[in-house]
Amino acid sequence: MKECKKYQKNLVAFLYGELQGDEKKRLESHLDTCSLCRSELDRLKEVKNGADSLNPEIENVMASIDWEALQEKISEAVFEEGTSMIRQSWLRSFLQSIFQPKLRPVYAGLFLGILIGAAVFFMIFRTPHLQVVKNGEIIVPQSFLEWAELEMARRNTIDYLERSQYLLLDFVQSSPEKSAGFWQSDYASQKARDLLSKKKYINQQLDKFHMAKAKAICDQIELLFFELTQISEQISMAELKRIQDLIVERQILLKIRIVKKELEKSEV
Amino acid sequence: MELKRVVKNENIYTLVEKIKEGDREAFMTVTRLYQKKVFLLAFSYFRNKEDALDIVQETFLRFYQKADMFHKGRNFQSWLLQIARNICIDYYRKNYSRESTFNREKNIDEMNLPATDSNESHCSLDLKEPFSSCLERLSERQRMIFVMKHYNQLKYREIAQILNIALGTVKSLHFKAVQNLRALMSPYLGRQT
């Protein structure tokens, strides 16, 4: 009985001609002696006969078809669309070959790489930075140098304006009698000379970064200091008073304060 | 019923190469050689002439589109029937899945066809409709394997290639298909399993 079960598993394959060699011979000799398995085979043959019962219908349907016409119809359907179909086929094959499932991990890795690369570039170029390399050498990008230079120009100008403001304030507030001696004192003359030399230094920076408004007021201050330090000995008290009035009239101190504030807010 | 394998592999490779270059004659030759095999598979599966003809047309259209993907060394018939099989499954899911097989409308002419056949045996008349409905009750894979084996007379090896499954699985599914058919047909065969 157990042996029959083993053979019965092969009965369908045997019935459909898929059993060969020794396996087939063993089953055939078993069927010769086993009525149970023969009966099982007969039942399976009934299924096969049932399936064969559709054959006449299939044959009739197939006989009713005009195969030549079908062949023409298919061919026309394919070649009528001609070029577009070939192109579509080429495009589809190309896309399929590019986006085939086994390449998905590669594309995922590539995408991740691009994402990380973009993030790194963003971090690097977001703000100017210093890159320290071995032996204590520092490599500085050009953008950082420009940024540093602008910052220095801004700070130098603010410093110049602040110091000029205090000095001019002292001058404006001093009485006409004292003002002549004011510019001959070591304190004022030294400061004015310092400011004149500083002005020469910041001139380049003001030109380079097109700080026009700051440059205009700085030029006016420079001219004032130049006159006051060089010719104060020869000019009269009335002339000094006129210069004091001019400073007040032209609101030079106010202008200095405004430009300074603008520079402090980096608005120049 | 068995269709002879007219074309040797070497010839079919040459024909497919020509088709890739847009050769209409080569395409028509391949269509002529294989259209009946595709129809047989589709008709055995659907038992509807119009549906089977649609499947044949769609199969060759898709074959033309995918010709570049066929490479030397592959069995052309298996490859083509694989396309046909996929189209059959899609077509079935799209058009039949929500429809009771018993309520499906059939072409009147087709229904009359067997009755007009004078050569048809009494036994065939008795078993044809029951068998047909039993076949439709099999699972998708079992039905496809049974059809391929019985009507297309393909070898297990070829079915395995078409369905992309192991040879043993084909053998086992075919065995189950026949067993299930026998169980389903037992009331019509007048005996119990």
- Rounded to two decimals, the ipTM of the complex is 0.74
Is there a contact between B130 and A50 if contact means CB atoms under 8 Å apart?
yes
pLDDT (0 to 100) of residue B98: 57
Least confident of A120-129, A170-179, A248-257, B110-119: B110-119
Q: Which residues in chain A have their CB less than 8 angstroms from residue B22's CB?
A: 86
DSSP 8-class letter at A183? T
Range ranked top by mean pLDDT from A94-108, A113-127, B101-115, B165-179: B165-179
Range ranked top by mean pLDDT from A57-71, A115-129, B112-126: A57-71
Q: For chain B, what is the mean pLDDT?
A: 80
Mean per-residue pLDDT for A146-165?
A: 88
Range ranked top by mean pLDDT from A234-243, B91-100, B168-177: B168-177
Query: Hey, where are the domains in chain A?
Result: 2-61, 142-264
DSSP 8-class letter at B2? P
* The total number of residues written for chain B in this structure: 193
Query: Which chain A residue shows the shortest CA-CA distance from B67?
Result: A89
Would an 8 Å CB–CB cutoff place B67 in contact with chain A?
yes
Least confident of A84-88, A91-95, A194-198: A84-88
pLDDT (0 to 100) of residue B102: 42
Q: Which residues in chain A have their CB less than 8 angstroms from residue B47's CB?
A: 54, 57
Would an 8 Å CB–CB cutoff place A13 in contact with chain B?
yes
> Does pLDDT of A137 surpass 80?
no
From CA A128, how far away is CA A143, in angstroms rounded? Answer: 6
Is there a contact between B40 and A48 if contact means CB atoms under 8 Å apart?
no
B70 beta partners:
none
Least confident of A13-22, A24-33, A72-81: A72-81
CA nearest neighbour of B54 among B45, A85, A60: B45
Least confident of A42-46, A104-108, B99-103, B142-146: B99-103
> Does pLDDT of A120 surpass 50?
yes
Would an 8 Å CB–CB cutoff place B110 in contact with chain A?
yes
Location of each CATH 1.10.10.10 domain in chain B:
113-193
Would an 8 Å CB–CB cutoff place B30 in contact with chain A?
no
CB of A222 closer than 8 Å to CB of A123:
no
Would an 8 Å CB–CB cutoff place A5 in contact with chain B?
no
Query: Which chain A residue shows the shortest CA-CA distance from B109?
Result: A61
Would an 8 Å CB–CB cutoff place B1 in contact with chain A?
yes
Is there a contact between A47 and B178 if contact means CB atoms under 8 Å apart?
yes
Of chain B residues 117-136, which have a CB less than 8 A from chain A? Answer: 117, 119-120, 123-128, 130-132, 134-135
> Does pLDDT of B193 surpass 70?
no
**What is the percent of chain B with per-residue pLDDT over 70, rounded to a whole number?**
77
Q: Which residues in chain B have their CB less than 8 angstroms from residue A50's CB?
A: 127, 130-131, 134, 181, 185, 188-189
Phi, psi of A139 (to 5 degrees): -100, 125
**What's the fold here for domain B1-98?**
Rna Polymerase Sigma Factor; Chain: A (1.10.1740)
Mean per-residue pLDDT for A132-156?
A: 78
pLDDT category, B75, cuts 50, 70, 90? Answer: confident
CB of A54 closer than 8 Å to CB of B123:
no
pLDDT (0 to 100) of residue B128: 80
pLDDT category, A180, cuts 50, 70, 90? Answer: low
Mean per-residue pLDDT for B100-111?
A: 42
- Of the partner residues B131, B171, B193, the one whose CB lies closest to the CB of residue A53: B131
From CA A244, how far away is CA A253, in angstroms rounded? Answer: 11
Segment B162-189, tens digit of pLDDT = 998 999 999 999 999 999 999 998 888 7
Location of each CATH 1.10.1740.10 domain in chain B:
1-98
Residue with tokens 């099999």: B138
| 3-class secondary structure, A139 | strand
> Does pLDDT of A75 surpass 50?
yes
Segment B14-37, tens digit of pLDDT = 888 888 888 888 999 999 999 999
pLDDT category, A198, cuts 50, 70, 90? Answer: confident
Query: Which chain B residue shows the shortest CA-CA distance from A75?
Result: B28
pLDDT category, A78, cuts 50, 70, 90? Answer: confident
Spatial neighbors of B130 by CB under 8 A, at least 6 apart, are: A50, B185, B188
pLDDT (0 to 100) of residue A129: 58
> Does pLDDT of B4 surpass 60?
no
* The total number of residues written for chain A in this structure: 268
pLDDT (0 to 100) of residue A12: 93
Is there a contact between B113 and A18 if contact means CB atoms under 8 Å apart?
no
Of chain B residues 164-193, which have a CB less than 8 A from chain A? Answer: 171, 174-175, 178-179, 181-182, 185, 188-189, 191, 193
pLDDT (0 to 100) of residue A148: 85
> Does pLDDT of A30 surpass 70?
yes
Q: Which residues in chain A have their CB less than 8 angstroms from residue B179's CB?
A: 12
> Does pLDDT of B2 surpass 60?
no
DSSP 8-class letter at A81? S
pLDDT category, A98, cuts 50, 70, 90? Answer: confident
Query: Which chain B residue shows the shortest CA-CA distance from A96?
Result: B69
Mean per-residue pLDDT for A140-146?
A: 79
**What is the percent of chain B with per-residue pLDDT over 90, rounded to a whole number?**
41
Spatial neighbors of B75 by CB under 8 A, at least 6 apart, are: B9, B158, B161
Residue with tokens 């006449």: A56
Of residues B87 and B101, more confidence is placed in B87
Q: Which residues in chain B have their CB less than 8 angstroms from residue A84's CB?
A: none
Spatial neighbors of B127 by CB under 8 A, at least 6 apart, are: A49, A50, A53, B185, B188
Q: Which residues in chain A have their CB less than 8 angstroms from residue B1's CB?
A: 55, 58-59
For A39, counting Cβ atoms within 10 Å of its Cβ (0-12 exposed, 13-18 middle, 19+ buried), the class is: exposed
Q: For chain A, what is the mean pLDDT?
A: 82
- Judge: domain B113-193, CATH 3.30.70.1140: no
From CA A119, how far away is CA A124, in angstroms rounded? Answer: 9
Least confident of A133-137, A178-182, B108-112: B108-112
Least confident of A173-177, A196-200, B178-182: A173-177
From CA B47, how far away is CA B40, in angstroms rounded? Answer: 10
Would an 8 Å CB–CB cutoff place B53 in contact with chain A?
yes
Of residues B174 and B69, more confidence is placed in B174
Q: Which helix (H) or strand (E) holds A49?
A: helix A35-52
Of chain A residues 32-91, which have a CB less than 8 A from chain B? Answer: 43-44, 46-62, 64-65, 67, 70-75, 77-79, 85-86, 88-90
Is there a contact between A47 and B185 if contact means CB atoms under 8 Å apart?
yes
CA distance A103 to chain B (A): 17
